[in-house]
Amino acid sequence: MAAFTDADFEAFERDGYVVARGLFSAEEMRLLHLVGKADAGLLGDTLDRHDTSGHVTRLALRNDLRDDLYSAIVRSERMVRPMERMLGGEVYHYHHKMNMKEPKVGGAWEWHQDYGYWYDNGCLFPYMASAMIAVDEATIENGCLQVIKGSHHMGRIEHGVVADQTGADMERVNQALKQMELVHVTMQPGDTLFFHSNLLHRSDANLSDKPRWVLICCYNAARNDPYKVHHHPNYTPLEVWPDERVLEAGQRQAKELQLV
């Protein structure tokens, strides 16, 4: 498992993101891959999101934590403790989602900031961040995430409806691209991208013959409890689990689904 250094936290502050290589083991990702692709409950929660070209990305989102592998990952010390430092104190689970870009048909995500729309949920401050775990290899060919390095320093910019998605004001995005670096975040299974809620990001459609699934775990600072009720949860204390419970939960759930 990757260990965070002071340089990693400095990179998060400066660039708006940091990649923790090998944060999850090959066996943990093998189990997440098996469980995710055989979990009827997860697949039943799936929504389709169209991009401007008509391609479809599938998204399964959950606001609650259960006794399963996904929730064990959300609760794990290796996720929560770095988030606490990045966001300056106690955090809680805002939601988690599996983003599924299937070969040849998986759609793009338009330029946006997560706080661009989380702002409307009653969150006063952008004390929010996500951790995106590569379930499959994420490459340029299968639509890996793209970020504008340092764009979180711009603050929240205006967003509007783009196809089935919420997209950022492209006038400002294009100006940002003239002044800041565009980075394609390629990852191996188990690599995890921690990124600020104001970081501008997008991804291309998956026109390759390989899938690109990612599990995205989203956190809010406890001190940023939304002032109104929304479908994403208000603050509740997060019970943090030892890292070894990720593997235990994966083995148990794989057995329940008769995958091993």
- What pLDDT, in 10s, does the model give residues 195-254? 999 999 999 999 899 999 999 999 999 999 999 999 999 999 999 999 999 999 999 999
Residue 1: its pLDDT value, please?
A: 45
Q: Which helix or strand (DSSP H or E) is residue 58 part of?
A: strand 56-62
% of the chain exceeding 90 in pLDDT: 79
Q: What is the pTM of this model?
A: 0.94
Query: What's the CATH fold of domain 6-256?
Result: Jelly Rolls (2.60.120)
Is the pLDDT assigned to residue 28 strictly greater than 90?
yes
The per-residue pLDDT for range 126-167, each reduced to its tens digit, is: 999 999 999 999 999 999 999 999 999 999 999 987 666 678
Helix axes 26-38 and 244-256, enclosed angle (nearest 10): 40
94: tokens are 């805002």
At residue 124 the predicted structure's pLDDT band, cuts being 50, 70 and 90, is very high
Convert the pLDDT of each residue in 33-67 to its tens digit.
999 989 877 776 777 666 666 666 788 999 999 99
The number of angstroms, rounded, from the C-alpha of 147 to the middle of its chain's C-alpha atoms is 13
What is the residue whose two structure tokens read 């419970």? 245
- Residue of 51 and 170 predicted with greater confidence: 170
pLDDT at 211: 92
pLDDT, mean of residues 15-26 = 98
Identify whether the C-beta of residue 132 lies closer than 8 Å to the C-beta of residue 172.
no
Q: Please report which confidence band the pLDDT of residue 70 belongs to, taking 50, 70 and 90 as the band edges.
A: very high
**Residue-range domain boundaries for the chain:** 6-256
Q: Rounded to the nearest 5°, which phi and psi values hold at 216? A: -115, 120
Cα(200)–Cα(179) distance, rounded to whole angstroms? Answer: 13
pLDDT score, position 2: 57
Q: Can you give the pLDDT at residue 254?
A: 95
> Between these two residues, 258 and 2, which has the higher pLDDT value?
258
> Dihedral of the CA atoms 218, 242, 21, 189 (nearest 10)?
-80
Size of the chain, expressed as the number of residues it contains: 260
125-to-122, 225, 259 alpha-carbon distances in Å:
9, 9, 43
Which of 100, 122, 121, 96 lies closest to 109, judged by CA?
100
For the chain, count helices (H), then strands (E): 8, 13
Q: Is the pLDDT of residue 91 over 60?
A: yes
Among candidates 198, 12, 206, which has minimal Cα distance to 106? 206
Q: Are 73 and 217 in contact (CB under 8 A)?
A: yes
